[in-house]
Amino acid sequence: IYTLSLHDALPIYLNNTLEYLEYIRKKGITHYSTSFTGSEVLKLIQLVQRAVNKNTDSKVYIGEDDRGDYLAYFKAGSDPIPRVS
Q: pLDDT (tens digit, 9 = 90+) per residue, 63-83?
A: 999 999 999 999 999 999 999
pLDDT > 80? residue 3: no
pTM (2 decimals)? 0.86
Give the model confidence (pLDDT) of 17-67 as tens digits.
999 999 999 999 999 999 999 988 999 999 999 999 999 999 999 999 999
Beta carbons of 65 and 35 less than 8 angstroms apart: yes
Q: Which of 10, 2, 7, 4 shows the shortest CA–CA distance to 45?
A: 10
Q: H helices within 1-85, ranges in order?
A: 6-26, 39-55
- Rounded to an integer, the average pLDDT of 1-15 is 79
